[in-house]
Amino acid sequence: MTAPACAALDHRTGRAVRLTCADGRIASIAPLAGGTAGLPVLLPPLTDIQINGFAGVDFQNDRCTRADLEQAADGLAAAACSRFFLTLITDRWDRLLARLQHNRALRASSPRLSRRIAGWHLEGPFMSPIPGFHGAHPPEFMVPPTPERMRELKEVAGDDPVLITLAPEWPEAPDAIRCARALGFRVWLGHTNATPAQLAAAVAAGAEGFTHLGNGCPTEWNRHDNIVFRVLDEPGLRVSLIPDRIHVSPMLFRLFHRGLDGARICYTTDAMSAGGAGPGIYPLAGIQVEVGADGVVRQPGKSNYAGSSLTPLEGVRRAAGMLRRSPQSVWPLLSTQPASFMGLPPSLVAGAPADYCLLHETGTGHRIEIHFAGEPLREVLWTT
Q: pLDDT-based confidence at 133, cuts 50/70/90?
A: confident
Does 4 have pLDDT greater than 70?
no
The residue ranking higher by pLDDT, 75 or 220, is: 75
* Residue 161 preceded by cis peptide, ω within 30: no
More confident residue, 246 or 307: 246
Average pLDDT taken over every residue of the chain? 92
Over residues 160-166, mean pLDDT? 98
Query: Looking at residue 1, what is its pLDDT?
Result: 38
Which residues, listed in sequence order, are joined to residue 240 by a DSSP beta bridge?
Answer: 266
Beta bridge partner(s), residue 371: 356, 376
**In what order do the strands lie in the sheet containing 296-298?**
280-284, 287-291, 296-298, 305-308
Torsion sign, CA atoms 129, 132, 135, 138:
positive
Contact 124, 142 (CB under 8 A): yes
Helix (H) or strand (E) holding 344: none
Amino acid identity of residue 98, one-letter, is A
* Residue 147 contacts residue 171 (beta carbons within 8 Å): no
Q: What mean pLDDT is predicted for residues 200-223?
A: 93
From residue 300, how far is each of 75, 137, 244, 310, 332 by CA, in Å? 26, 15, 20, 19, 35
Over residues 274-296, the mean pLDDT reads: 67
- Specify the DSSP class assigned to residue 271: B
Q: Looking at residue 113, what is its pLDDT? A: 98
d(CA 265, CA 213): 10
pLDDT attached to residue 15: 95
Tens-place pLDDT, residues 313-324:
999 999 999 999
Q: How much is the CA Rg of the chain, to the nearest whole Å?
A: 20
What single letter denotes the amino acid at residue 152? E
Residue 298 has pLDDT above 90, yes or no: no
CB distance 29 to 349 below 8 Å: yes
Q: What are residue 148's phi and psi, to 5 degrees?
A: -60, -45
- For residue 360, what are the β-bridge partners? 367
Domains annotated for the chain, with CATH where assigned, are 6-42+349-383 (2.30.40), 45-341 (3.20.20.140)
Element (H, E) at 338: helix 336-341
Residue 2 reports pLDDT greater than 50: no
- Can you give the pLDDT at residue 124? 93
Among 76-80, 118-122, 214-218, 250-254, the least confident range: 214-218
